Amino acid sequence: MEVLKTIQEILPGLTRTQAKIAEYILAHPDAVCFSSLRQVAEEVGVTETTILNFCKKTEFESFAGLKKAIYADMHDKLFWNKKLETSSNQYDADDSMLIKLKANQLETLQSTLEKVNTPELFQFTEELSHAEHIYICGHEVSYTIASNFRNKLINTGANTILLDVNNYTEVLDALTHYGEKDVFVLITFPFYSVQTVAVSDYLASVGTTVLAITDKLSSPIVKNAKRVLFCNSRHVIFHNSVIPVMALTDIIASLYLLQNKEMFQNYNEKVKCVETFFEKCAVPAYEYEYFYNDEFIEKKIL
CATH number, domain with residue 49: 1.10.10.10
Same domain for 47 and 64 = yes
The number of beta carbons lying within 10 Å of the beta carbon of residue 225 is: 22
Determine which of 52-61, 145-154, 193-202, 284-293 has the lowest per-residue pLDDT on average.
284-293
- The mean predicted confidence, pLDDT, of the chain is 87
- Tell whether 104 and 172 lie within a shared domain: yes
192 and 277 in a single domain? The answer is: no
- Whether residues 107 and 142 share a domain: the answer is yes
In the chain, what is the straight-line distance between the N-terminal and C-terminal CA atoms, in Å?
A: 74
CB 136 within 8 A of CB 150: yes
Residue 245 and residue 135 share a domain:
yes
In a domain, 84, yes or no: no
Same domain as 282, residue 204: no
- Are 268 and 145 in the same domain? no
Q: Are residues 23 and 160 in the same domain?
A: no
What span, in angstroms and rounded, lies between the C-alpha atoms of 233 and 55?
A: 32
Q: Are residues 115 and 204 in the same domain?
A: yes
Look at residue 169 and tell me if it is in a domain: yes
128 with 232, same domain? yes
Q: Is 192 exposed, middle or buried (0-12, 13-18, 19+ CB in 10 A)?
A: buried
Alpha-helical (H) ranges within 116-235 are: 118-129, 141-156, 168-177, 194-205
Query: Does residue 95 register a pLDDT over 50?
Result: yes
Q: CATH no. for residue 226? A: 3.40.50.10490
142 shares its domain with 235: yes
Q: Does residue 209 form part of some domain?
A: yes
Question: In the predicted model, is pLDDT for residue 75 greater than 70?
Answer: no
Q: Is residue 227 scored above 90 in pLDDT?
A: yes
CA distance 287 to 95: 45
Q: With respect to residue 87, please indicate whether it lies within any of the assigned structural domains.
A: no
Min mean pLDDT across 2-6, 132-136, 171-175 is at: 2-6
Query: Is 288 a member of any domain?
Result: yes
Boundaries of domain holding 30: 2-78
Statement: residue 301 has pLDDT above 50? no
pLDDT at 168 over 90: yes
In a domain? residue 83 = no
Look at the chain and count its residues: 302
| CB contact at 8 A, 135 and 163 | yes
Count of structural domains within the chain: 3
For 41-51, write each residue's pLDDT tens digit.
988 899 999 99
Q: Looking at residues 96-116, what average pLDDT do you find?
A: 94
Residue 298 has pLDDT above 60, yes or no: no
pLDDT at 67 over 50: yes
The whole-angstrom separation of Cα 137 and Cα 248 is 16
Whether 94 is in a domain gets the answer no
Does residue 66 fall inside a structural domain? yes
In the three-class reduction of DSSP (H, G, I as helix; E, B as strand; rest coil), residue 134 is classed as strand
pTM: 0.74
On the question of pLDDT at 295 being above 70, the answer is no
Q: Could you tell me if 57 and 113 lie in one domain?
A: no
In which band, very low, low, confident or very high, does the pLDDT at 237 lie, cut at 50, 70 and 90?
Answer: confident
Percent of the chain clearing pLDDT 70 (strictly above): 89
